[in-house]
Structure 1
């Protein structure tokens, strides 16, 4: 055994047991018994995924986040350009969301989210981004490094990139140039797509057939529940459906699938979108995808019948629940969202109550 192999072997022994502190269990292992926690995989990126994770960690200890890796803005974009690494920002945010509510968890959440303020080249870099990239360079293993950061933070779950190669997001946008409102242009880069003043028609990844991280595929196939969304629809949610191996896993898994809708249209990406239109564009990008439940905030759905019709095309039921913060901002309340997920898992699950 080489020195490098030995070091990696030792580190694997300190990584979270069986992903996120639970005993390892193979897909071909014994069936889960009544009273055990559901295996949940959440897909997305940015603040939307963070909101979902902050809720899900309250109701299960068996949680895996699969995160987009197409970010090209801010600290992540600079590190990506300079070092050729995966953009670490959304991975960092997911890890922070999985930190516990105790002093240890909240301290580390603040530390990895801290951004340096200076007049030099360190300005804007997040501590967690630098930590993640440093471990990638030290270990040469994306998954092992993220597991080790999760162990340090005491994260209530596991964080995985959806692909091991940095991706570029490209979109066809109508009216991206305000002087040519009827023209359709190709817009490149997640940061640009997210802020486009035009109407996004479709998105694709470059390369068009990126390899999925095997552990992410395994997690989806082995899950009881898969949660997609909320988040930036074209730049954080739909990209998961553009990774062929990940889409195959989402269509083949025996897990129940929940689509969690946003609380409001996002300026730029989904300006003027109704809840049902979010489903329509999702279906255009992944016509074979089936869903079991579409979750939406009851105050954000002016036409339930139209949403129900759109959900039926995926084979899904609609669940409405109060999941927004009570301060009027379009942000999810972690406790309310946790209660909604918990009720869905109990009502629509195959194996009865877990607790």
Structure 2
């Protein structure tokens, strides 16, 4: 069992009612998942990638040696309270400075998180405090407390399409004109150091009722969670219902030319032991439904083809429609009994007097 850090909260969310839902990802994809979860009776926890090396996040990471705050900020903003009288913290948090000076391009939330990280020292405590400030309806956790680097094997960058080149860095991988074949994750201090998961993130996955992967940049926001050994093992072991949400359109650079079922094949290649209960996809984004259904079944799950895109904007998820599809996925996904080890862990937690 993980010892709770001094100064942290068990969860900023009220400890009553609703499924415990853990969403893994980063960037805009994770934001849309959290926006959908807010419409359901769940207690959300976001587990966020920490490999961004571009924009404001990349600058703060390089200059201060901190976790890149951008994706963490977006997750907090998605869970922030928006309806309290006079509440404008979420708007301020997302405000980005203009001009041409040193602050140009920085989001206020990125700077606030950087300050919290320097003052508090512990990323989990810092994010909990930021969540309190924003009145967050759930918890945000980094998948690792140290910044990480993504490395990819990419084909199609040479005249010979069989030549594989190695590209390093989240931005470089996300924007490569080649075809990404496989990704790896390294600790930023050196490629020989294995990435370590945040213990609270591992606990959240093991204790969840529902775990969600996607949508988002497949190779740089979704798959990285499977490349951290402790988090990978937790995703395999958890008895939670596991739901994959597919992207609406292929992403230029990362998944150009990918079919919906290819996303699942890549997922399986990076985590052969991972089984899922449901795969949510937009019915208008799936040209060959039978292939997707077979791919979902090969992972142990069921394909749910529903209209989840914004009308007139097929590249954007509609939070309301996605929430309805997720509610159906949660209801129809085959509930699994916790395995023996998870059961023993739960008994030990109750014996020690911890809250459920």
* TM-score (normalizing by structure 1): 0.88
Deviation at 1:107, TM superposition (A): 2.5
Aligned residue in 2 for 1:20: 12
SS of residue in 2 equivalent to 1:262: coil
Query: Are the equivalent residues in 2 in contact too, given 1:105–1:154 (CA < 8 A)?
Result: no
CA contact (8 A) 1:142 1:164 kept: yes
Number of positions where the alignment pairs a residue of Structure 1 with one of Structure 2: 327
**Residues 248 and 314 of structure 2 are in contact (CA less than 8 Å); yes or no, is this contact kept in structure 1?**
no
Report how far residue 111 of structure 1 moved.
1.1
Q: Closer, same or farther in 2 for the Cα pair 1:104/1:164, shift >3 Å?
A: farther
**Root-mean-square deviation over aligned CA pairs:** 1.8
Quote the residue 1:149 is aligned against: 130
Q: Please give the secondary structure, in 1, of the residue aligned with 2:19.
A: coil
1:312 maps to 297
CA deviation vs aligned residue, 1:33-66 (integer Å, no higher than 9, x gap): xxx3111000000000000000001113411000
Distance 1:255 1:117, change over 3 A: same
Deviation of 1:106 (Å): 6.9
| Aligned partners of 1:104 and 1:153 also within 8 Å | no
Aligned counterparts, 1:7-156, within 5 A: 11-12=7-8, 15=9, 18-23=10-15, 36-103=17-84, 107-156=88-137
C-alpha distance in 2 between matches for 1:350 and 1:200: 34
Q: In structure 2, do the counterparts of structure 1 residues 349 and 56 end up closer, same or farther at CA, with 3 Å as the change threshold?
A: farther
* Separation (CA, whole Å) in 1 of partners of 2:289 and 2:274: 22
| 1:205 and 2:162 aligned | no
Superposition deviation, residue 309 in structure 1? 1.1
Are the aligned partners of 1:39 and 1:60 in contact in 2 as well (CA < 8 Å)? no
Q: 1:349 to 1:291 in 2, by over 3 A?
A: closer
- Distance in 2, matches of 1:106 and 1:256, equals 35
Question: Deviation digits for residues 307-339 of structure 1, max 9, x if unmatched?
Answer: 111111110111111110112240111111111
Misfit runs of 4+, over 6 Å? none
Do the aligned residues in 2 keep the contact of 1:77 with 1:87 (CA within 8 Å)?
A: yes
Q: Which runs of structure 2 are paired with 1:101-250 in the superposition (5 Å)?
A: 101-103=82-84, 107-176=88-157, 181-207=161-187, 209-250=194-235
Question: What's the CA shift for 1:174?
Answer: 0.8
- Structure 1: tracts of 5 or more residues without a match: 1-7, 25-35
Displacement of 1:98 in angstroms is 0.9
Determine if contact 2:82/2:88 at 8 Å carries over to the other structure: no
Deviation at 1:175, TM superposition (A): 2.0
TM (normalized to structure 2)?
A: 0.88
Q: Secondary structure at the match of 1:310?
A: helix
Corresponding residue SS for 1:331: strand
Q: Distance in 1 between matches of 2:240 and 2:86?
A: 30
1:255–1:313: structure 2 CA closer, same or farther, 3 Å change rule? same
Secondary structure at the counterpart of residue 115 of structure 1: coil
Any conservation in 2 of the 1:136–1:142 contact (CA below 8 Å)?
A: yes
Paired residue for 1:3?
none
Unaligned runs of 5+ in 2: 188-192, 337-356
Q: Distance in 2 between matches of 1:48 and 1:40?
A: 16
Instruction: Tell me, yes or no, if the aligned pair for 2:82 and 2:90 is still in contact at 8 Å.
Output: no
Structure 2 counterpart of 1:323? 308
What do the CA deviations read for 1:207-249 (whole angstroms, capped 9, x no partner)? 3621100000000000000000000000000000000000100
> Is the 1:175–1:181 contact (alpha carbons within 8 Å) kept by the matching residues of 2?
yes
Alpha-carbon distance in structure 2 between the residues aligned to 1:152 and 1:270: 37
Q: How does 1:281-320 map to 2 (within 5 A)?
A: 281-320=266-305
Cα distance change, pair 251–124 in 1 and its aligned pair in 2 (3 A): same
* Alpha-carbon distance in 1 for matches of 2:255, 2:42: 33
